[in-house]
């Protein structure tokens, strides 16, 4: 903790000013992406609303641009957060503007309900609050749209910036958007080795924090693996035993635990592993694969420990 010694550094800590871990190239790419996203939105949807109403509505997309191009892998930036956050907030904002005559009260209720709804629907997107607010305070031109506001300009703006984010980020392998497109790259990196956290333990730790964190499980995995030096004792053919359980060490929907039922020799002298899925993706399914394929899939052996799977380290 010596890095924060001294009053100046202590002040930085209190203000939340951290050291930047992003390269100048990444910063420049983020800025250029945001520029292109907003220009595209203004070209497409600008004629739909005249000033100042148009500026009020487009302002929330400026905040979305920051997320999509500066934090493309964050949960707050993903397509469902972008689409759901803006659409549910637009609906709530229009409804409050129609039903509550007092502007100040309507604005507060619109933003508050939007936050709660985004939490409930798992589509938290901070710019959605601005979309709800614009529906109330955007003026007569915005309010005259009624629920059409959800489609034009809000949904149109979302579609435009979503397309730009996909096309702009795709050439950069480390920042492909949405984050699911980078999953193949993560899988290839994990296949090359790297110590992996236990999935259940990670999820329990996140649950104990009881707060929303704008970082994906995949990014947490990569951070841990890089910080720990990426060392892992790989499994070999001899490590695979009948009756034992193994995990692929993945996260989210890809996590899986398999029990080896039998290792048999086929007619071509290949060894075939019969297994059943005990937990995770495809639970209760049974299957067969070659021993080599199983070794490539398995990251480590696990045993059941009450309500979680514990990794066997030796």
DSSP string computed for 30-96: HHHHHHHHHHHHHHHHGGGS-TTHHHHHHHHHHHHHHHHHHSTTSGGGSHHHHHHHHHHHHHHHHHH
Query: In terms of DSSP bridges, do strands 308-311 and 256-265 run parallel, antiparallel, or are they unpaired?
Result: unpaired
Domain span at 31: 21-177
- The domain total for the chain is 3
Residues 30 and 56 in one domain: yes
In a domain, 6, yes or no: no
Residues 25, 164 within the same domain: yes
Answer yes or no: do 38 and 82 share one domain.
yes
298 and 278 belong to one structural domain: yes
In a domain, 5, yes or no: no
29 and 76 share a domain? Answer: yes
pLDDT of 9? 67
pLDDT at 80: 97
80 with 173, same domain: the answer is yes
In terms of domains, do 97 and 215 share one?
A: no
Residues 63 and 211 in one domain: no
Considering the domain architecture, whether residues 273 and 296 belong to the same structural domain is answered as yes
pLDDT for 224: 64
**Residue stretches of the chain with pLDDT short of 70:** 1-9, 13, 18-21, 49-54, 183-214, 216-219, 221-233, 251-252, 314
User: Do residues 49 and 172 share a domain?
Assistant: yes
Helix (H, G, I), strand (E, B) or coil at 258: strand
pLDDT of residue 192: 39
* Token code pair at residue 132: 């709800």
Q: Are residues 169 and 215 located together in one domain of the fold?
A: no
């Amino acid at each position: 903790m010596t890095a924060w010694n001294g009053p100046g550094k202590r002040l930085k800590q209190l203000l939340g000013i951290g050291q930047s871990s992003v390269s100048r190239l990444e910063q420049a790419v983020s800025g250029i992406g945001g520029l292109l996203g907003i220009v595209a939105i203004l070209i497409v949807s600008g004629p739909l609303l005249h000033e100042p109403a148009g500026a009020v509505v487009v302002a929330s997309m400026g905040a979305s641009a920051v997320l999509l191009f500066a934090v493309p892998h964050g949960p707050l930036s993903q397509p469902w957060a972008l689409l759901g956050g803006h659409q549910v907030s637009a609906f709530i904002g229009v409804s409050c503007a129609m039903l509550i005559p007092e502007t100040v009260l309507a604005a507060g209720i619109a933003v508050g309900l939007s936050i709660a709804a985004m939490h409930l629907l798992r589509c938290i997107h901070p710019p959605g609050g601005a979309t709800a607010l614009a529906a109330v305070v955007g003026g007569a031109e915005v309010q005259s749209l009624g629920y059409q506001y959800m489609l034009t300009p809000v949904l149109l703006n979302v579609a435009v910036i979503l397309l730009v984010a996909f096309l702009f980020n795709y050439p950069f392998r480390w920042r492909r958007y949405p984050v699911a497109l980078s999953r193949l790259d993560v899988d290839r990196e994990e296949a090359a080795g790297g110590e992996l956290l236990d999935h259940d333990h990670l999820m329990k730790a996140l649950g104990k924090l009881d707060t929303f964190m704008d970082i994906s499980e995949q990014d947490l995995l990569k951070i841990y693996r890089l910080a720990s030096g990426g060392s892992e004792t790989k499994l070999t053919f001899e490590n695979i035993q009948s009756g034992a359980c193994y995990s692929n060490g993945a996260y989210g929907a890809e996590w899986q635990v398999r029990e080896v039922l039998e290792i048999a020799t086929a007619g071509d002298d290949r060894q075939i592993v019969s297994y059943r899925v005990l937990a995770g993706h495809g639970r209760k399914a049974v299957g067969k694969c070659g021993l080599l394929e199983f070794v490539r899939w398995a990251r480590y052996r696990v045993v059941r420990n009450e309500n979680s799977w514990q990794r066997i380290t030796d």
